[in-house]
Amino acid sequence: MKKLICKKCGNEVLPEKDKALKKEYPYYCSFCDENKYRFECMRVEENKAQKRKELI
Ligand SMILES: [Zn+2]
C-alpha cells in the first residue's frame, strides 16, 4: 500500500477537501499546517515507512 508524505517533514499528507484550494494545492500537511503542491509531496510504500519508524 502506498501513501503520500510531505517532503519537508516526512509526515503523511491528506487530500485537500476545499474545492477552490484543491485546484492549486491538492494536499494538506497537518504537521506543517500548510497546503501542499503535488511536487511538495512524495509517494512512498507504507511498509517501508513503518520499518523506518521501527528503526528510530
Ligand atoms: Zn509537512
How high is the mean pLDDT in each 10-residue block of the chain (56 residues)?
94 96 96 97 80 62
pTM of the predicted model as reported, rounded to 2 decimal places: 0.75
Cα 26 to middle of ligand 1, angstroms: 14
Q: What is the pLDDT of residue 25?
A: 96
Q: From the CA of 11, how far away is ligand 1's center (Å)?
A: 6
pLDDT at 36: 97
Q: How far apart are the first and last CA of the chain?
A: 21
β-bridge partners, 15: 27
Q: How far is CA 1 from CA 23, 31, 45, in A?
A: 26, 22, 6
pLDDT at 13: 97
- Give the model's pLDDT for residue 15: 95
CB of 45 within 8 A of CB of 12?
no
Can you give the residue ranges of every domain in the chain? 2-55
pLDDT at res. 47:
74
**How far is ligand 1, taken at its centre, from the CA of residue 21, in Å?**
17
